[in-house]
Amino acid sequence: MRHSAKIIFGFSCSLFFLAFSACARQKKSAENPAQQETQKVNPEIEKLGRVLFSMTDRCKDAVTNGDPEDFLADLHRVLDEQADFRTDDLPLYFLIDKKHSVPAEYEPKDLIAVKSNDLWNVSRNDLSLRPEAYRALEKLSAAALEDGIKLLVSSTYRSYEYQAGLFNRYVAQDGLALAERYSARPGTSQHQLGCAVDFGSVTDDWADTKMGKWVYDNAADYGWSLSFPKEYEDVTGYIWECWHFRYIGRAACQFQKKWFSDVQQFMLEFIDAWCKE
C-alpha cells in the first residue's frame, strides 16, 4: 500500500486535521497579523478528526490524504443531495450490515414494480424498488441502451420474510459458516432497503461479460455503487459480489471514490458516525 498517498494515523486523526488547520491559520495570520489572535479552528474540522479517529484502522488506512476543507465540502454535497430525496423513509445512506439492521416489518414506502420494458429485462416478475432507485435505474438503463446493452435485473427489494427463507435455504445447503459469507440474515440485507439491485446472472463470471464491464465502468455516473468488492470480506462481511449494486446517488459515489478508496462500506460507516456525533 502506498502510504505516501494516505493520511498516517499513527497517533490520532484529529491531530492530523488540527495540525493542518493550524498551518492554515498561521498562513492567514502571516498575511494579516491583526487576525492572529482571532483565528479559530473550524469546529467541523475538529469533528472530522474525532469521527475519523473513531473509525476502524482499515478505514483510516483507506482514507485519502487531502485538504479537510475540501473533504467537508464534498461531504456536504453528499448530505445536500440526500436532502433532496424523500424524508419520510429511511435515509438514502442508512447503514445496514451485519451489525446494523432494520425491523422485520420495515418496507420502503411507495415501492415501484420493476417489470420488463424497453429499458431492461427482468429475471422474474415480483421485483420492485424504492422510487429514487427506480428513477436511477431508468437513467442507467437508458445510457446502457445507447451503448447497445440491455440490462438484466435479477433481484431488487426483498422483504424480511423473503430474506429469511433465502438465508435458511442457503444454511441448509452449505452450512451456517459458508452461508453467512454470501447471504445476509433477515433484517440486515441491503435489498430490504429497496435500493439495491443484482444484475445479470448473479455469478462471478458476469463481471467479464459485456454487460458486467459496462456496469462497472458507468454505474457510478448514475449513482450506483458496488457494495461488496474483492478483498474486503473482513470489512463488508461478504465475499465479492460483482453483480450487487446499491443506489446512493452520484455525489456519494464521487465522495467514496475520492476519499474512501472507492469502498462503499467505509463511506457509509463514516456518514453514520458523522450524523450521530
Cell 502510504 sits on residue: 3
Contacts (Cβ under 8 Å, ≥6 apart) of 132: 85, 86, 92, 195, 247, 249
pLDDT at 38 (0 to 100): 53
The DSSP-derived string for 126-176 is -EEE-HHHHHHHHHHHHHHHHTT--EEEEE----HHHHHHHHHHHHHHH-H
233 within 8 A of 254, measured Cβ to Cβ? no
Per the structure block, which three cell numbers stand in for 145?
Answer: 441502451
pLDDT for res 83: 82
Which parts of the chain register pLDDT below 70?
Answer: 1-39
pLDDT (0 to 100) of residue 41: 73
Q: What is the pLDDT of residue 235?
A: 97
DSSP string, 113-128: EE---SSEEESSS-EE
Asked whether 219 and 151 are in contact (CB, 8 A), the reply is no
Structure confidence at residue 14 (pLDDT)? 44
DSSP-based helix, strand, coil % in the chain, nearest 5: 55, 10, 40
Q: Is the pTM of this model over 0.85?
A: yes
| CA atoms of 158 and 228, how far apart (whole Å) | 18
